[in-house]
Structure 1
Amino acid sequence: MKRNIIIGVLTTIVLIMALAIQPFSFENIDAGNVGIRINLYGSDKGVDNITLVTGRVWYNSWTTKIVEFPTYTQSVDYESFVITTKDAAEFKVDPKLNYHINPDKVPQIYRQYRRPLAEIQQGFMKNTIYDAYRIVANSFTSDSVMSNREVFEDRVQNVLTKTLGKDGFVYDQLTSAITPPPSLRQMIDEKNASIQARLKAENQAKQAEAEAKVIIARAEGQAKATLIKARAEAEANQLRQKTITPLLIQQEWVAKWNGILPTTNAGGSTSLMLGIK
C-alpha cells in the first residue's frame, strides 16, 4: 500500500517536471502584428522567410524563437536638431514621423538589423531622417527655406520614402516644425510689418480717394442741379417777356379795374387807358 502511494507520488512529480520543462509553447500574435519564426539550431538556423499571420502559433521553444513585430501605424517624436543651409544659416527642426511596416518585409528587417523595433527607430530610422534634412538643406538658402517650405518638406519626404521604403518602412506623414534663427526671424517679422504698413497705407489712400470722389460727385450733382434750375428760370422769364404785350396789359388792367378813375393832384380824374375806343 505504501509502495503504491510512493510510486504514485513519484509519477506525479515526474509528470509535473516533464510538463514544466517540455519545450512546446505557443504565442498569440495580436491583430496589427506579425510574428517571424527564428530557428536557433540546425543547418537552416536563422530567420525563416515565412511571415506568420495573426493568431496562436505553436513552436518548440528549445529550437525555435518567435519575434513579434507591430505593423500598425507608429508615431515617433524625435528630438530636435540643427540643419545648415548652403548660406550657413542654422535652422532648428523638430520632426515627428508616422509610418508602418510592410508585413512582407518583416523577416528582412529582422535579418538586417537584429534589433527590436524601438531600437531601430532610435538608430537607423533616426539617422536616416537627420541625413535627409541635412542633404536637402544643403540645396536651399535661408530665404528659400522660408519662402518655399512646402517644396523643402516635399524633397525631404521624397528622400525618406525612397530610403525607408526599400527596407520595408512605409512612410505615412512627417511634421517638420522648422524654426529659423533669431536674426532671420526678426528680419521676417520686420518684413511682414513693413508689408502690413504698406497695405494699410494703400487702403487708407484708396479710402480717401473714394471719399473724395463721393464729395466731388455730390458737388457736381448740386452744381448741375443749380444750373438746370437757373436755365429753367431763364427760359421761363424769356417766355414771359415774349408773351407780355400792351394789349395783354390793358386786358389785365380792365379785368382788375373797379370803375373809379385815379385822382390826380389837380383834382381831375384822368383815364389811364388811352386809345381805347
Structure 2
Amino acid sequence: MEKLQHVTETMIYTTKKTQNNTQKMQLFHGRNISTQFKSYYINASANELMDPFIHQHRYELLINHKMKCKGKNVFLLVFIHVAPGNFAGRNLIRSTFGTISSFHNKRIVRVFVLGKTENVTIQQEIVNESKRYMDIVQGNFIDSYRNLTYKLVFSLFWVNNFCNNAKFVIKIDDDIILNIPLIIPYLAEKIKTGQTSNVLECKTITENIPVRERNNKWFITTEEYPFTKFLPYCAGHSSIMSIDVVRKMYRASKNVPYLWYAAPVLWNSLPEEFRQCSESV
C-alpha cells in the first residue's frame, strides 16, 4: 500500500447545502475543520484554487540538461538553490566541493536550481554560463524569497523527471558547504545496513512562531497562517532524502496546501517516519 496515501487524500472538499446557498467545506481526515483557512477556500476564486504552479504543476523549463543523470549510476544528486544573479556564489561552489564528481567510486551529480529573472542582461549571462558549465536548471517562476516553496517543488519535479535514478538527494542553499568525504561514507553505510528508503534528515525546527511585524522579512499574515505556533518542520537550508521520499514528497505537494514560509506545511505533510533529525549536512 502506498505509504503517503493518507497524506495525499486528507485534504478534500465537499459541499453543504443550506436554504440560502451551497457552502464549500474543507475536510481533514474526514472531519470538518473550522479555521481561518476555511474562509479562504470558501471565498477564493477558481483561479486561486487552481494555481497553475502548485495545483497543476505546469512548470516549464527555461534551461535544462535532461541528460545530466541519464544512463549514469548516480549515488548522490545535490541540488543547490541559488539566486539567478549570484554568479560568484556558483563559481565558488564549482571551485570547491563542486569539483568532486566521484568519491570512493560513488558518482555525484550537482545542479544549480534557479527561477526566472526579468533582467534580460542577467538572463543572457545565465544562458551563456549554462552552455559553459552545463549544471543549471531554470524554471518559469520568478525567483524571489516568497517563491522559495515554488522553487523547492520545482526541484522535486526536476529530480522526478530527470534524475530519478539517484539513490540519495541532498538539497542545500548556496551558503552551505557540503563535506563530501564525510557525507559519502555516511550514506554508503546506509546502503550496507539496508536504510535506503524513508530517509529524510534535516535540522528540525520545533519552537518557531509566526512573525507578525509587517516590516519583518518573515512577516506572515493571520490569513496565511492563523495559529500562534508552527508545527515542527525541516529548516530550509539543507536536507538529505532517499529518492523514494523525493517521489512521495512531490506527489504529496500536488494535494497538500502549503505556505511560502520555508514550506513548513509541505514538509509536515509527510508522516513522522520520514522526519528524522540529523545535523549531518
Q: Is the TM value for this pair above 0.5?
A: no
Q: TM-score, normalised by structure 1?
A: 0.20
Higher relative contact order (CA 8 A, sep 6+): 2
Q: Which has the higher helix share?
A: 1
